[in-house]
Structure 1
């Protein structure tokens, strides 16, 4: 490229919609990068790689922009390879002459690409004359995540640098073991090889260095390995140990100065040579075909995260300890959230501890933030070696896994060296013993629960402590909790970490832990509620970020939902208090695993009293907004099913017979000879004699026994609720039927048995009609909506409604609701629906019926029974049709909630919003008009006193309308609109809503919630005017 632009030309900033973007979103010079996450990588891209600008989404480098006079293909290929190695940005925009080319940075770069570079990596080529309107869509599409979906084939996760490096680590490890090297020795050798590769790629180890060590027989690490000379390899280690000290180069395959050192063979060196070359994907082929990884560009935190995943491949060991690797983008979120809450003194001199540090991902990030803050505070890019060593000494890590701690040592050594120029490092080497001792000093292989609480206090305690409850009562966490009297529900280790961390915290310090969301936030078992209440009383919670909706998107091999809880010690005068509660939702940005969207729509504040009063508040506020809360409150005040139905388990413990009562209980548990249980088998008088109902033969609304076979054996593990095998009853599966997003219930009066996946409510004589009403209501959308918001597991963990949850569902009689006559009429029609279903179930050749049509009728009658308004019906329908199918999506899933709304849906939103606001303006009509729309953002104008129906401007341009609004309010309207879906701008008698083009923000239920928010704005504005006039 003949000339590179050091910054973007103003006209290109405008075309891309970046005119008013500033740091921390847009960087055009390394000097502007100040005290932010990923600062070293951003600076490297701008200064070393020569890009013109880096655009960040929520602090994560996402789009690299290069502007040049002429298009130089070879230079672009090299830049693509360097950015691919960096592993952060996903899109490269190259501007040359009047053409913008968009390249994917997720595709593996090839060493000799030929024409394949464009075929594999070029997403779009846009000309200024023909396609200028598409330019802004690139930036907006990166913010919304739409680009990653629309061009999904260009962003394959398995071609990212972290996956390729992991694959090569695994392949190398296997090959080393096949060459008779022990597992731990192989891991140690790979750590050492990566460190040498890093030193070489950073030009700390030069060709002259290798030539001197090898007596001029090799001028690179690869060349030395390819000689197959083991003595030469050992000589390299002796020299490195002398120059660098530290713990990494005691001997090949070993970090221990004492003890027997494993033997290294030429075969081992051959494997390392392949790994070092970085020119092949060792797990997939042996063809040397790709551009290669370069440790000069790979951020050390990525290497640390990859090695953590590598250790995680030892599945049995990880599962036993409940320790799973933390993906880099999640670790970044944790560190950033904690960092923003720290006072300046702690950012400067605070000591950090990760008590279960693994390979050190949190420690590396913490050290980097300390360095960046020092630079910002002292207004210089250069940090002295003495100061760096002091900053490094502030970072501490402990772990039971010595191998993981060794990786943490390696990671922090590299992080330390990255803060110094190669030339300065070479000068420091001449002094000898360059690296400080970390192993056994600040990084220690130790058990957190054996560390005395009177030891050193730390200002920041951070990490992802182990989650496990199945390792036996003798483990140290259980013993510590018993000794100190701290609750540990379910034997969950994370609880013990949470309590003990408080005893190591300095005054004013903060703890930031990733914890199991189910146990800490959602579970409402009595012992868990008591532990949670104690935690919120004995600590001062600052922020809770509930990642439950991202359950299948975060940890590769652990699907338990997680939450970040940031807290400190309780203060004597600090109760009660309020704290942030954020519940981010899965979205398209998770496809690239680089950023978690933290939208203002998902942020709230809670009082600690609410937590103590309502054990389900965290679950309810996952998706619930104010209109939902009002409806839930109304339904929650009605009589519950539990007021009518008794629990068989409770009756059994009291040795009471069911008698003439409504009673619920579960089916039998089959006996499994392979089970580890010591319980002796039992014989049932019913199982094996009566017809048996497998869940696959279950039918909604009415269940018959015709065609069913008895169970193969009468031997069972538990007999279950045997009264539920005969008489009038309702059969209810625990699971939510995800295809219909409903609960299921079936009226049954024929003898049959069933397993414990089903539960039965037996009905006293003379109560069959009421049972039929209950059967219909349980199949309705009202039941699943209430269960979604009012139970612990559904929507946060598994899609099931347990027996205790079922009994909390509302079940009023017609006399309990506002319109008794309407409810009574609805009840008669619901009974008739169940009777029709019974008749069909007993007819061998009954005609096929449209079950969906029957369920729609059930819904309509259930709404009538509960006396719901059209707006309340909209809340329920939107949840069932749009929200429930989108819950906790798996990787690659694309629910319609993420898609763009069509014109009819936009119109429905606008009409609902206008109608809901009409009451505030004494009957004046509100006109709604879509004045601008792009692929990712739209602007809706509400005009008081208009008389037109909803319309959409065909020609409205986002940039023009945003410019006009900015002129009215005298400040630029910039920033990521995806993070501000409730952004509202008042201009005269018009209100402008700037909304993401995602269905989630255009539902009728969203319109009702937005109307509440607008009304509150108007109330507050009126109050301010009133106070001013009074003054």
Structure 2
């Protein structure tokens, strides 16, 4: 049912603050839809569904707008259901007269819902007269993600089409297996059923087709299945085999012409009829579900079938290291590499996914090839021969035959989506419409058995398996060993990376999703060597580090991912630089549709610095320019490793202890393995004899004797490893390896009482006569200063697992007071820090439960004095501890404080730091005034003005101006086009005479004091560049 909505007129554009917003943000006509990632879906929404407009965020359809003469529930329900099936947009905005109705597209549609539709799906109703500001806030709230948070109950991911369809597929698969089919046969039968459903929903095959196959007993697939007669289904398959392709419809449950197909019966047909009927949520048993429509469901979603079926065999998925790539992440990968390709590759280039799985990367690549064809021709209709040619340019390998079958199915549908149904029906008359791709361009084969010289391509793309430490028998290990290529931790992704380069033509690209820890952050010698080799032998183009999105991207996988785009290195490659982007988790991830790629998170790294500094990728995750200066200051001091040796090095004779030695506690023996010849155990003289302290019972700051009273001993003296036994007695510092990042500090406790601890705790022995120094170190380890430094200096903290290893711990700065720029200030602070630990040793529990904040606030103050930090440097550390650290790698459903909107108090503090920093840059003679000229809930315009008369102007906020109106005026004055989504440009600055305007999101992240220092640095650099350019121009004159 086509809605035939009205065009979006100027009045509605003004009311929704969409004036001046055109493609690629707002699409209203088919002519404007060009070279955008979701072009087909946008055209279908505007033309096929009759919407007035589609508003996109970063190219992803997010809001569908329908302007109607009057509200007709039946038509709106139908549009809502179609868009829900499409699975892209999250919001439907219906405009009628002076009323705006906003519907969630994440709510499952029901058939014949009545007023239940509005109760379940209507987020809010607004009127033009009473809700003018709220109307303008819809688009801004969508761009910032605020809208999803404020109305979270309407955007439950479990009600989206992908969740419902995949739940039904999983349930159907289980029922088919329960009725006697083996899992592979059940998977094949469901794939075949979905393909027939697609043909039916797109009206490629109609009632006549089903009547012929069923002996005129059924006019559709559901009716044929309900007959319960297997012969009718086999007759349908025979017709489809002739008309479409031989290997897809060999027989129900089978793709192999040389094998006997499994036997199916009426129970299996009953399951299929329930699935195909689509009006039942099979897991919940709800019968009034509107139903999914394969005419609208994007084929990218179908690739999720592979993940769900692998999910039935979780051990196999873990063994292969294969995880389904979410549609929005695959889109990000394809878009990033596509934007880098020259026209010659877009026109004729070939694409390869060496571990193609369900084919999502190949499908999206094929769709982009088709869109490029349309963009460069005058016709939107692609000739069949051209489509087949483009299809032959996408290729894939995979070890799993079931996965390759899903990829075949996905590409067939992607092919048919490019052709109108009447044209397909004409092709059917010729027979064998679908080309052979199984065994031709999609092959069930080990990538490491493929001859690279015979499979040269222009783009290698995908998400290769992340599998390590699985033994020496894998072909990837053999392949790397024969070529003497590094494969740190036997990580398969490294092998895929090296081999992918051999498949590239001279100007080709590889775009791989890879484990961030192994490729970017691990600083072991072998990992650093492999990374340096890749940077030297390839030309890295872009790295997108998704570490902060660790818990948001893959269901079931908790390793952080990174997209690395690279190609062959030119002969004699000199030093070069490449893009380094580190997107942060934000509110837009709540709807799982897009990843925010903000300019604030984009920088570049040189190949020289990447090879010289193993931790540069980690530091650049969050470190700003002002923080870089502070880090360099602290890095210049004596490090702990100049005093402390690691126990393993001492035991091997490669280091001398000198009394300061750091080692792990004992590793407990696993009871079920004790007694096995291959399992090592040993008897300890301490474990099981001394009191044992658990990690959860470890006090903060110090362990007094009463803290151990009543502590039980470990239950046995038999352990797997004894650990560093010298740390069970005497003076030492106990430091947990795990870090509670949200607390904003490490943990350390000074201990003089005998006790044992497990390997999750590290013990540092303090030699006789050095007790005062040990207590100073304990206090500093509990301060925010060393937590801040550790956050930027360690590999996994903030990028992978929240822990600090021994080799990382000893890189922390630990100077004496005499090294400080103000030795007396540092000495007084050291005395106070040591006194704090002494008090903790003498008072059980040290009353931390009563007022821990006051104690640690005092420790922080003393630590700031010890390191002689300035107020600006303290602000950097405090902001990190209070806001940044609790926000890193948030779990799904969380809401870190840094995501909330800024308050007036926050903005006043920001403006004060900003103006002070700029005044210092100008020498103090010309104060800078700050005024918030306009703001709404999501965006603000801050005006900075230099006062030549030297009169300071207090900070103020205007409540009169509209954000969009002010921006239009500013950009008109400077003769620049008005940009679109300012959420993607949080550091946007524009000069107008003596004034500088900053356009900033209202989220707290961008109004911290540390953000003000970073912004002031950037402004100063702009002014320096401008001054240099002006001087050069004057010299030329």
Measured against the shorter chain, the TM-score band is over 0.9
Distance in 2 of aligned mates of 1:655 and 1:495:
30
Provide Cα deviations, 1:58-109, integer angstroms capped at 9, x if missing partner. Answer: 0100000001111111100000000000000000011111111111000000
Distance in 1 of aligned mates of 2:186 and 2:596:
39
Deviation, structure 1 residue 973:
2.3
In structure 1, the partner of 2:67 is: 67
The answer on whether the counterparts of 2:645 and 2:656 sit within 8 Å (CA) in structure 1 is no
Distance in 2 of aligned mates of 1:756 and 1:100:
61
Deviation, structure 1 residue 246:
4.4
In structure 1, the partner of 2:935 is: 933
Distance in 1 of aligned mates of 2:752 and 2:812:
23
Distance in 2 of aligned mates of 1:840 and 1:312:
53
The answer on whether the counterparts of 1:4 and 1:69 sit within 8 Å (CA) in structure 2 is no
Q: How many pairs are equivalent?
A: 1027
Matches within 5 A, 1:222-261: 222-261=222-261
Deviation, structure 1 residue 697:
1.6
Deviation, structure 1 residue 927:
1.2
Provide Cα deviations, 1:671-718, integer angstroms capped at 9, x if missing partner. Answer: 222248823321111111111111122111111333322222111111
Distance in 1 of aligned mates of 2:415 and 2:303:
14
Distance in 2 of aligned mates of 1:32 and 1:370:
18
In structure 1, the partner of 2:771 is: 768
In structure 2, the partner of 1:350 is: 349
Distance in 2 of aligned mates of 1:858 and 1:313:
52
Aligned-partner SS, 2:453 = coil
In structure 1, the partner of 2:722 is: 719
| Closer, same or farther: CA 964–657 of 1 in aligned 2, 3 Å | closer
The answer on whether the counterparts of 1:962 and 1:973 sit within 8 Å (CA) in structure 2 is yes
In structure 2, the partner of 1:696 is: 696
Provide Cα deviations, 1:706-748, integer angstroms capped at 9, x if missing partner. Answer: 3322222111111111111111111111111345221111111
1:749 corresponds to 2:752? yes
In structure 2, the partner of 1:965 is: 970
In structure 2, the partner of 1:1009 is: 1014
The answer on whether the counterparts of 2:228 and 2:270 sit within 8 Å (CA) in structure 1 is yes
Distance in 1 of aligned mates of 2:147 and 2:181:
45
The answer on whether the counterparts of 1:352 and 1:396 sit within 8 Å (CA) in structure 2 is yes
Deviation, structure 1 residue 958:
1.0
Distance in 1 of aligned mates of 2:848 and 2:688:
32
Distance in 1 of aligned mates of 2:899 and 2:103:
24
Deviation, structure 1 residue 937:
0.5
Distance in 2 of aligned mates of 1:575 and 1:72:
65
1:820 corresponds to 2:823? yes
In structure 1, the partner of 2:173 is: 173
In structure 1, the partner of 2:663 is: 665
In structure 1, the partner of 2:14 is: 14
The answer on whether the counterparts of 2:2 and 2:50 sit within 8 Å (CA) in structure 1 is no
Deviation, structure 1 residue 665:
1.1
Distance in 1 of aligned mates of 2:439 and 2:68:
51
Aligned-partner SS, 1:510 = strand
In structure 2, the partner of 1:538 is: 537
The answer on whether the counterparts of 2:6 and 2:69 sit within 8 Å (CA) in structure 1 is no
1:337 corresponds to 2:333? no
In structure 2, the partner of 1:425 is: 424
1:915 corresponds to 2:916? yes
Deviation, structure 1 residue 963:
2.2
Distance in 2 of aligned mates of 1:605 and 1:675:
50
Distance in 1 of aligned mates of 2:177 and 2:669:
43
The answer on whether the counterparts of 1:166 and 1:310 sit within 8 Å (CA) in structure 2 is no
The answer on whether the counterparts of 1:2 and 1:68 sit within 8 Å (CA) in structure 2 is no
The answer on whether the counterparts of 1:667 and 1:719 sit within 8 Å (CA) in structure 2 is yes
Deviation, structure 1 residue 602:
0.2
In structure 2, the partner of 1:86 is: 86
The answer on whether the counterparts of 1:543 and 1:566 sit within 8 Å (CA) in structure 2 is yes
Distance in 1 of aligned mates of 2:175 and 2:484:
49
Matches within 5 A, 1:340-419: 340-419=339-418
Distance in 1 of aligned mates of 2:861 and 2:2:
70
Aligned-partner SS, 1:751 = coil
2:1029 to 1000, 1018, 1024: 1024
1:589 corresponds to 2:591? no
Q: TM-score, normalised by structure 2?
A: 0.98
Stretches of structure 1 that go unaligned for 5 or more consecutive residues are none
In structure 1, the partner of 2:987 is: 982
2:710 to 685, 707, 710: 707
The answer on whether the counterparts of 1:4 and 1:67 sit within 8 Å (CA) in structure 2 is no
Aligned-partner SS, 1:941 = strand
In structure 2, the partner of 1:575 is: 574
The answer on whether the counterparts of 1:647 and 1:664 sit within 8 Å (CA) in structure 2 is yes
In structure 2, the partner of 1:729 is: 732
In structure 1, the partner of 2:886 is: 885
The answer on whether the counterparts of 1:246 and 1:436 sit within 8 Å (CA) in structure 2 is no
The answer on whether the counterparts of 1:308 and 1:404 sit within 8 Å (CA) in structure 2 is no
Q: TM-score, normalised by structure 1?
A: 0.98
Aligned-partner SS, 1:953 = strand
In structure 2, the partner of 1:212 is: 212
The answer on whether the counterparts of 1:312 and 1:325 sit within 8 Å (CA) in structure 2 is no
Matches within 5 A, 1:78-117: 78-117=78-117
Matches within 5 A, 1:458-537: 458-537=457-536
In structure 2, the partner of 1:192 is: 192
Deviation, structure 1 residue 656:
7.8
Distance in 1 of aligned mates of 2:848 and 2:370:
74
Distance in 2 of aligned mates of 1:2 and 1:547:
40
In structure 2, the partner of 1:628 is: 627
| Closer, same or farther: CA 224–836 of 1 in aligned 2, 3 Å | same
Distance in 2 of aligned mates of 1:237 and 1:39:
33
| Closer, same or farther: CA 25–600 of 1 in aligned 2, 3 Å | same
In structure 1, the partner of 2:780 is: 777
Deviation, structure 1 residue 31:
2.4
| Closer, same or farther: CA 2–597 of 1 in aligned 2, 3 Å | closer
Aligned-partner SS, 2:672 = coil
Matches within 5 A, 1:430-445: 430-445=429-444
The answer on whether the counterparts of 1:668 and 1:754 sit within 8 Å (CA) in structure 2 is yes
Distance in 2 of aligned mates of 1:842 and 1:19:
63
Aligned-partner SS, 2:1011 = helix
1:951 corresponds to 2:956? yes
The answer on whether the counterparts of 1:3 and 1:70 sit within 8 Å (CA) in structure 2 is no
The answer on whether the counterparts of 2:3 and 2:49 sit within 8 Å (CA) in structure 1 is no
Aligned-partner SS, 2:941 = strand
Aligned-partner SS, 1:23 = coil
| Closer, same or farther: CA 304–922 of 1 in aligned 2, 3 Å | same
Matches within 5 A, 1:308-327: 308-327=307-326
Distance in 1 of aligned mates of 2:312 and 2:978:
47
Aligned-partner SS, 1:284 = coil
The answer on whether the counterparts of 1:16 and 1:139 sit within 8 Å (CA) in structure 2 is yes
| Closer, same or farther: CA 485–718 of 1 in aligned 2, 3 Å | same
Between 468-477 and 492-501, report the one with greater CA deviation.
468-477
Deviation, structure 1 residue 308:
3.5
Provide Cα deviations, 1:460-493, integer angstroms capped at 9, x if missing partner. Answer: 0000000001322011000000001100000000
Aligned-partner SS, 1:567 = strand
Aligned-partner SS, 1:552 = coil
The answer on whether the counterparts of 1:875 and 1:1005 sit within 8 Å (CA) in structure 2 is yes
| Closer, same or farther: CA 246–985 of 1 in aligned 2, 3 Å | farther
| Closer, same or farther: CA 163–842 of 1 in aligned 2, 3 Å | closer
Between 587-596 and 240-249, report the one with greater CA deviation.
240-249
| Closer, same or farther: CA 889–655 of 1 in aligned 2, 3 Å | closer
Distance in 2 of aligned mates of 1:580 and 1:509:
18
Distance in 1 of aligned mates of 2:525 and 2:269:
59
The answer on whether the counterparts of 1:6 and 1:28 sit within 8 Å (CA) in structure 2 is no
